[in-house]
Structure 1
Amino acid sequence: FNGCLKSSFNEGGLQPFFATISVFLVLVICGVGIVGNIMVVLVVLITREMKTPTNCYLVSLAVADLMVLVAAGLPNISDSLAGTWIYGHAGCLGITYFQYLGINVSSCSITAFTVERYIAVCHPMRAHTMCTVSRAKRIIAFVWSCTSIYCTLWFFLVDINVNKSQHLECGYKVSRNLYLPIYLLDFALFFVTPLFVATMLYGLIGRILFASPIPDQADATAEPWRERSGKEKNGVDTRGSLPTMSPLQVIKMLAVVVILFALLWMPYRTLVLVNSFMDNPFLNPWFILFCRLCVYANSAINPVVYNLMSQKFRAAFKRLCKCGGEPTPHSLSSFLRTPAVAEGESPSVVSSRGSSTQLSTDDIQPREWQAIARSLQYI
């Protein structure tokens, strides 16, 4: 958010009104996002049943989104109020570093999550060894390590400058033309590539889900498992408590992830890329505010999506907030009593623990569709 997103006001009367609108909107979005992402991290850490490979990637995404909101959103508020940079040279370097670290890790986490979903749905037999909690943790550690090293470039690219109004700002250290290769690389690695991978893999997932009538068959074969699991573990019959998602519902949910990522990041990425080629960059303050708000909204909206589209997350959020009252057998058995994925297991293995017949790689039967349907409940 440095250099390319610095705006100026030609009319002095515009700044107070703009600052008021900017501070209010950023406060609302960042407040909702910070609280929501903290809740995502907490429910996964404190709830044993939520510790799945998929949720590990969601925690990584939540931490990255928190970093974006804190390092990019909150300093933007002080900029609007003070009209000058108040964090000094060290703050300029550190805040810029954490901004881009959060942005880039969030893109990588989405890619990792997408690949994990593709393996779980399209190759459920391989998920036994590839979709595990320990493997997810190693991948997340690798992503954070590599991205942390990559983002150290920004320590050498930004500095404190004095603008035309004689105010301090955190911006470019050298000529803007030298930043073009970096912005092009960022655009390719952390926007085009994740979007391309997500589009391709979710398309393959959709083809698999539409190729067979999953809901009816999966629901029929899942009933005995639900009955045994409910009676053995809780003494409660939980049949019918886990709703089966239709192929259309699954496609809609997966499409939301891709569409939100593409739409909310497009204005910022496009502005950065276009301004890198222009001698006189486009610095309309209202459009720059719009780009910033889109980025903040992308980091803030993910917990809302989880709450709307995942019953397990919704139940966990309610329990964390103490809004759901005392846990009932149906509420917790339905949403939070689903067996966790243990080390070396995949969602498909968990769903077939009660079965006496093991799947073969050549047996594409309703039982395998049950594994796919069960794996979707970890989203």
Structure 2
Amino acid sequence: MGDYNSSGGPWAATEPDEPVTAAPDWGDPPLGPEATAVPIVFALICVVGLAGNLLVIYVVWKYERMKSVTNYYIVNLAVADVAFLLCCVPFSAAGFATTSWHYGLFMCKFVFYFMQVTTMATCLTLAALSIDRYVAIVHPVSSIDRRTPALAMAISGCIWIGSFLLSVPVAIYTQLVEGFWYGPQVYCQEQWPSPQALRKKKKVTRMVAVVVILFAACWLPNHLINLCSQLKVVHLGYEVYCMKIAALCLSYANSAANPFVYGFMGQNFRKSFKKAFPRRFRQTAGVFRQ
């Protein structure tokens, strides 16, 4: 068997028809001393922060006398700090050491989303802690029954739920963006919609709101009559029977009215309707001009 690295090996047996063009060498990007210093500092922050916050969580969990309202809020702060240090700081450090995002779209969305979640949870917990201290100082006696660890845990849970929900737009609008700096690069950035796109979304939102309101208005009479009849509020006479028929007609008419709402308020639907029936729309337009 021939030597694949020698000039007479199989790779040299045939000559390519066209010369092979090598990828252009853009050179290494000029990274400064912060490319090394910042990750080292961030690593030290992570080690110290994780050790300190985990110790706080352990002490409050271990000793019964530490289970106070204030300490529960402090534990919530420690949990937010641990989550931030674990999930966000390493990727921020990598951003100083590299020039491109190498971790894919999912991690791009997750890191930015979780960074927003932990920041919001920290701010809301600090607000709750400040209110708790105000109540404890200004109303020390009357607040004893209300300031309980169970309430502090419930508020902390609501803080996390609210933080996860309110941060969803960050996950939606964080995208991978291609760029060029000493060669092709990929960046993880928040790409919020333009004013024109927001106006289009507002139009769609108004159309959806009209559809919902129309549905409620059409079906409400029928449900009210059914509810009153079940609760024996009204006597099922001929007048109620006629009202029931009218309410049924109104509720069923909702399904026929929705396409008119789409056509009247939805610009894309109007354009598609005109493309589907161009001759009919031209005739209608001529009648209106006359």
Q: Distance in 2 between matches of 1:90 and 1:67?
A: 18
Q: Distance in 2 between matches of 1:80 and 1:177?
A: 32
Of the candidates 139, 164, 168, which is equivalent to residue 186 of structure 2? 168
Aligned residues: percent identity?
24
Look up the match of 1:36.
52
Q: Secondary structure at the match of 2:141?
A: coil
Q: Distance in 2 between matches of 1:37 and 1:73?
A: 15
Aligned AA (1:42) = Y
Look up the match of 1:62.
78
Look up the match of 1:368.
none
Contact kept, 8 Å, 1:119 with 1:126, in 2: the verdict is: no
Change beyond 3 A, Cα 1:174–1:132: closer
Aligned AA (1:116) = D
Q: Distance in 1 between matches of 2:190 and 2:118?
A: 20
Q: Distance in 2 between matches of 1:44 and 1:176?
A: 47
Of the candidates 31, 38, 49, which is equivalent to residue 22 of structure 1? 38
CA RMSD between the two structures? 2.0
Q: Distance in 1 between matches of 2:166 and 2:49?
A: 26
Q: Distance in 2 between matches of 1:74 and 1:168?
A: 18
Q: Distance in 2 between matches of 1:43 and 1:163?
A: 48
Look up the match of 1:73.
89
C-alpha displacement at 1:116, in angstroms?
A: 0.8
Q: Distance in 1 between matches of 2:59 and 2:114?
A: 24
1:186-233 deviations in Å (ceiling 9; x for gaps): xxxxxxxxxxxxxxxxxxxxxxxxxxxxxxxxxxxxxxxxxxxxxxxx
Look up the match of 1:232.
none
Change beyond 3 A, Cα 1:50–1:25: same
Change beyond 3 A, Cα 1:45–1:74: same
Of the candidates 106, 109, 112, which is equivalent to residue 122 of structure 2? 106
Contact kept, 8 Å, 2:170 with 2:190, in 1: the verdict is: no
Q: Which runs of 5+ in 1 are unaligned?
A: 1-10, 179-379
Larger-gyration structure (1/2):
2
- Residue correspondence of structure 1 range 162-241 to structure 2 within 5 A: 162-165=178-181, 166-174=184-192
Aligned AA (1:36) = G
C-alpha displacement at 1:170, in angstroms?
A: 0.8
Q: Secondary structure at the match of 2:116?
A: helix
C-alpha displacement at 1:142, in angstroms?
A: 1.2
Of the candidates 146, 166, 170, which is equivalent to residue 130 of structure 1? 146
Q: Distance in 1 between matches of 2:128 and 2:194?
A: 32
Q: State the TM-score, normalizing by the size of structure 1.
A: 0.42
Q: Secondary structure at the match of 1:163?
A: strand
Contact kept, 8 Å, 1:34 with 1:69, in 2: the verdict is: yes
Q: Distance in 1 between matches of 2:185 and 2:60?
A: 44
C-alpha displacement at 1:77, in angstroms?
A: 1.9
Q: Distance in 2 between matches of 1:33 and 1:176?
A: 39
- Residue correspondence of structure 1 range 146-161 to structure 2 within 5 A: 146-161=162-177
Q: Distance in 1 between matches of 2:113 and 2:83?
A: 10
Aligned AA (1:95) = V
Structure having greater relative contact order (Cα 8 Å, sep ≥ 6):
1
Q: Which runs of 5+ in 2 are unaligned?
A: 1-27, 197-290
Change beyond 3 A, Cα 1:128–1:54: same
Contact kept, 8 Å, 2:35 with 2:98, in 1: the verdict is: no
Number of aligned residues = 167
C-alpha displacement at 1:175, in angstroms?
A: 5.2
- Residue correspondence of structure 1 range 79-98 to structure 2 within 5 A: 79-98=95-114
Look up the match of 1:140.
156
Q: Secondary structure at the match of 1:129?
A: coil
Q: Distance in 2 between matches of 1:154 and 1:12?
A: 29
Q: Distance in 2 between matches of 1:126 and 1:90?
A: 49
Contact kept, 8 Å, 1:109 with 1:140, in 2: the verdict is: yes
Aligned AA (2:57) = V
C-alpha displacement at 1:72, in angstroms?
A: 2.3
Aligned AA (2:187) = E
C-alpha displacement at 1:12, in angstroms?
A: 4.8
Look up the match of 1:264.
none
Q: Secondary structure at the match of 1:128?
A: coil
Q: Distance in 2 between matches of 1:100 and 1:51?
A: 28
C-alpha displacement at 1:79, in angstroms?
A: 2.2
C-alpha displacement at 1:94, in angstroms?
A: 1.0
C-alpha displacement at 1:62, in angstroms?
A: 0.7
Aligned AA (1:151) = S
Q: Secondary structure at the match of 2:56?
A: helix
Look up the match of 1:364.
none
C-alpha displacement at 1:136, in angstroms?
A: 0.6
